[in-house]
């Protein structure tokens, strides 16, 4: 594993057109998962893609987004120092036993002066800066919670416990949801205060509070690297979309 790879801390020096220079967004990056479905014995965020950890790829793209004022990473507890060295521009906190606890730990490090918070999986290492900007812009425009969404391309069936098909579901109103997901900070804080053993995404927790969640178009580049095949797909995507 390349532990010397870093992301520049010089976020301010990017040449960004004036109207987009807002820098009012904190991005939380839960990166403390084990990556059991990917395998390999290394925490997934530290697994390499083209010679660099997934986390470094993810943070480099976040740092390219003109709105991003701060990145907070929830790292595997044993890797906090290594992650600080990899991404010196970021605030790094120890992650928790679940994704929700990791997000909550990162959220606690965001100052109250920041109103817009995005949550982005380290495992979605190739999500482009344009997607970050689209989500941030939708929150700024008054949406309480915003998720990137793609249409479902496969036929969907509901099955019983014996794998017998019960019905074919109308997929037209279904969406595949990605990250980064964007929120007003106070809304996300409230959602995590109400969290109990969560197995949903952050937007799901906000939905339960009764808030409307708005979809913006997702990106094929934001695929979640979950299984070994995804790593191969990501290699091809990276070759076709280098930074
Ligand atoms: N305790 C945890 C579990 C997950 N995550 C993060 O949440 C994101 C999405 O989770 P997923 O892709 O499911 O990662 P893992 O939990 O690592 O995967 P697996 O379920 O295969 O072990 C990842 O960036 C992962 O590092 C985290 O910060 N803390
Ligand atoms: C947050 C998320 O990436 C949205 O699609 C997803 O819910 C995380 O997946 P996990 O496998 O449940 O960690």
pLDDT of residue 6: 54
In a domain, 28, yes or no: yes
The residue contributing the CA closest to ligand 2 atom 1 is 201
178 pocket-lining for ligand 2 (C-beta < 6 Å): yes
- Dihedral sign (CA 125, 42, 75, 33): positive
In angstroms, the CA 198 to CA 221 distance is 26
Task: Using pLDDT thresholds of 50, 70 and 90, give the confidence band for residue 4.
Answer: very low
100 pocket-lining for ligand 2 (C-beta < 6 Å): no
The residue contributing the CA closest to ligand 1 atom 9 is 121
pLDDT in tens, 190-235: 999 999 877 889 999 999 999 999 999 999 999 999 999 999 999 9
Whose CA is closest to 132, among 122, 144, 119? Answer: 119
3-state secondary structure of 79: helix
In a domain, 5, yes or no: no
Backbone dihedral angles phi then psi of residue 53, each to the nearest 5 degrees: -60, 145
198 pocket-lining for ligand 2 (C-beta < 6 Å): no
- Dihedral sign (CA 135, 199, 124, 66): positive
In angstroms, the CA 60 to CA 239 distance is 16
Percent of the chain with pLDDT over 70: 91
The residue contributing the CA closest to ligand 2 atom 4 is 178
The predicted model gives 158-186 an average pLDDT of: 98
Task: Using pLDDT thresholds of 50, 70 and 90, give the confidence band for residue 15.
Answer: very low
150 pocket-lining for ligand 2 (C-beta < 6 Å): no
Question: How is 175-213 classified by DSSP, letter by letter?
Answer: EEE-S-EEEEHHHHHHHHHT-SS--S-HHHHHHHTT--E
In angstroms, the CA 222 to CA 62 distance is 12
3-state secondary structure of 148: strand
The predicted model gives 171-182 an average pLDDT of: 98
In a domain, 206, yes or no: yes
Q: Residues with Cβ within 6 A of ligand 1?
A: 30-38, 44-45, 74, 95-99, 102, 121-123, 224, 226
DSSP alpha helix (H) spans, the chain? 54-64, 80-86, 99-107, 129-140, 185-193, 202-208, 228-240
In a domain, 161, yes or no: no
pLDDT in tens, 30-75: 999 999 999 999 999 999 999 999 999 999 999 999 999 999 999 9
Could you tell me the CA-to-CA distances from 45 to 59, 183, 202, 238 in Å, in that order? 11, 23, 19, 16
The CA radius of gyration of the chain, in Å to the nearest whole number, is: 18
Beta bridge partners of 149: 177, 217
In a domain, 7, yes or no: no
In a domain, 164, yes or no: no
The Å distance, Cα 69 to ligand 2 centre, comes to 24
pLDDT at 113 over 50: yes
In angstroms, the CA 230 to CA 225 distance is 5
pLDDT of residue 55: 98
Give the predicted TM-score (pTM) of the model: 0.92
pLDDT at 143 over 70: yes
The Å distance, Cα 16 to ligand 1 centre, comes to 32
Whose CA is closest to 66, among 26, 23, 25? Answer: 23
In a domain, 219, yes or no: yes
Mean pLDDT, all residues of the chain: 92
In a domain, 15, yes or no: no
CATH at residue 142: 3.90.550.10
- Indicate the number of domains in the chain: 1
Task: Using pLDDT thresholds of 50, 70 and 90, give the confidence band for residue 1.
Answer: very low
Mutate to test the pocket of ligand 2, among 121, 123, 178, 230 (most ligand atoms within 8 A of CB): 121
224 pocket-lining for ligand 2 (C-beta < 6 Å): yes
> Residue 67 belongs to what domain range?
21-149+175-240
């Amino acid at each position: 594993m390349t532990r010397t790879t870093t992301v520049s801390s010089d976020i301010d020096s990017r040449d960004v057109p004036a109207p987009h220079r807002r820098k009012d967004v904190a991005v939380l990056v839960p990166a403390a998962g084990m990556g059991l479905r990917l395998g390999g014995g290394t925490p997934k965020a530290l697994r390499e893609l083209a010679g660099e950890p997934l986390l470094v790829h993810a943070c480099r793209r976040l740092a390219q987004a003109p709105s991003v004022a701060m990145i907070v990473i929830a790292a595997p507890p044993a890797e906090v120092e290594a992650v600080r060295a990899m991404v010196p521009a970021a605030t790094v906190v120890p992650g928790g036993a679940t994704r929700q606890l990791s997000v909550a730990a990162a959220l606690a490090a965001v100052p109250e002066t920041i109103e817009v918070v995005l949550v982005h999986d380290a495992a979605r290492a190739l999500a482009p800066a344009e997607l970050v900007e689209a989500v941030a812009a939708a929150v700024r425009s008054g949406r309480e919670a915003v998720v990137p969404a793609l249409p479902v391309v496969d036929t969907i069936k509901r099955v019983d416990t014996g794998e017998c098909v019960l019905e074919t579901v109308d997929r037209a109103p279904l969406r595949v949801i990605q990250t980064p997901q964007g929120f007003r900070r106070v809304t996300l804080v409230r959602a995590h205060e109400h969290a109990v053993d969560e197995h949903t995404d952050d937007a799901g927790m906000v939905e339960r509070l009764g808030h409307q969640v708005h979809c913006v178009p997702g990106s094929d580049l934001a695929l979640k690297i979950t299984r070994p095949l995804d790593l191969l797909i990501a290699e091809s995507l990276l070759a076709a979309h280098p930074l």
